[in-house]
Structure 1
Amino acid sequence: MSDTVWLSQSAYDQLQAELEHLKTAGREEAAQAIKTARAHGDLRENAEYDSAKEEQGKMEARIRQLDDMLQRAQVGKAPAGDVVSGGSVVTTVDADGDEETFLIGSREDRTTGLTVVSTDSPLGRALVGARVGDEVRYEAPAGTFTLKITGLRGLEERV
């Protein structure tokens, strides 16, 4: 996995807000749920307590995940230039002439309406570093695919 995670400003802001909520209200709600469940008696046979503790664990794992992602994030516009990188919007055409447009980024950017391709995926690894006019090949479970890059722009640029 690469060290840097590319995020649009809006995705970064959403994740930051989620993290802040989990660290404040989320932790308070989890503590209250555990306190309420404890009041029901014997903890060895208390399904409500077990469930509250499990939810607290999931929340703490999400907090760690968000902390890590936000610390490694490269935020904002894609680097300028003619080389595909994180934050690039890439248009490709396959051997059948089918055109598809991808955002090279993080799943947190899926709200853009574009198909998001991680830089760590086989397609993402094939596209990163390529230029308009290049043909790239990548392996997928359904076989080997070849795509020609026909367009490249930053996420904030309008077509």
Structure 2
Amino acid sequence: MSKTHYLSQEGFDKLKADLEELKTTGRAEVAAAIAEAREKGDLSENAEYDAAKDAQGLLEMKINELEKVMANARVLDETQLDTSKVTVMSNVTIRNVKNKREMTYKLVSESEADLKSKKISVNSPMGQGLLGKAEGDLAEVKTPNGAIQFEIVKIFI
């Protein structure tokens, strides 16, 4: 049984574009590398050919994984989300109880996670700690240095 991947429309479109890129350009580049290595003679002792075949296997594995994600993807309409609790696609402002520092993050699927853009995965320790909480609740996030408590300040779209 495959896991459902909840994506924004933007994330779904990017995933689709990445998959198309791998299927067209990626496969063409690997095929060219294999053909070039094949021209160099004896395949049993040709390291370049082995490397090109390995690259082809990795590319096909990545294509297969992306196709699985696409097959199980559910695009969420952010305007229809409930903001009473933290869910996938929620923007949430949190305050560290200890140092009073506030941060705002968006909870997204693993494939869309990007810390630089302040998008964290719902499967990360932080995401797991925040899911299902309401404004005013305390969320405890387990870290290697111990648990950290965050207060949910605001949930919005």
Q: What TM-score, normalized by structure 1, do the two folds share? A: 0.85
The residue number in structure 1 matching 2:12 is: 12
8 Å CA contact 1:5–1:105 kept in 2: the answer is no
**What percent of counterpart residues are identical?**
37
1:110-121 → structure 2 map (5 Å cutoff): 110=113, 114-121=117-124
The residue number in structure 2 matching 1:146 is: 149
Structure 1 residue 14: Cα displacement: 1.2
Q: Which amino acid in the other structure matches residue 83 of structure 2?
A: G
Count of aligned residue pairs for this structure pair: 153
Q: Which amino acid in the other structure matches residue 150 of structure 1?
A: V
Q: Deviations over 1:50-101 (max 9, x none)?
A: 2211211121111112111122222233323311111111110002110111
For 1:4 and 1:137, the matched residues in 2 are separated by 26
Structure 1 residue 140: Cα displacement: 1.2
Is residue 51 of structure 1 aligned with residue 54 of structure 2? Answer: no
The 1:121/1:113 distance shift into structure 2, 3 A limit, reads closer
8 Å CA contact 2:109–2:123 kept in 1: the answer is no
Structure 1 residue 133: Cα displacement: 0.9
Higher mean C-alpha displacement, 77-86 vs 92-101: 77-86
The residue number in structure 1 matching 2:66 is: 66
For 2:45 and 2:35, the matched residues in 1 are separated by 15
Higher mean C-alpha displacement, 137-146 vs 67-76: 67-76
8 Å CA contact 1:86–1:104 kept in 2: the answer is yes
Name the SS for the 2:132 alignment partner.
coil
The 1:114/1:89 distance shift into structure 2, 3 A limit, reads farther
For 2:156 and 2:71, the matched residues in 1 are separated by 26
Q: RMSD value over aligned CA atoms?
A: 2.0
Name the SS for the 1:139 alignment partner.
strand
8 Å CA contact 2:113–2:120 kept in 1: the answer is no
Structure 1 residue 32: Cα displacement: 2.1
Q: Which runs of 5+ in 1 are unaligned?
A: 155-159
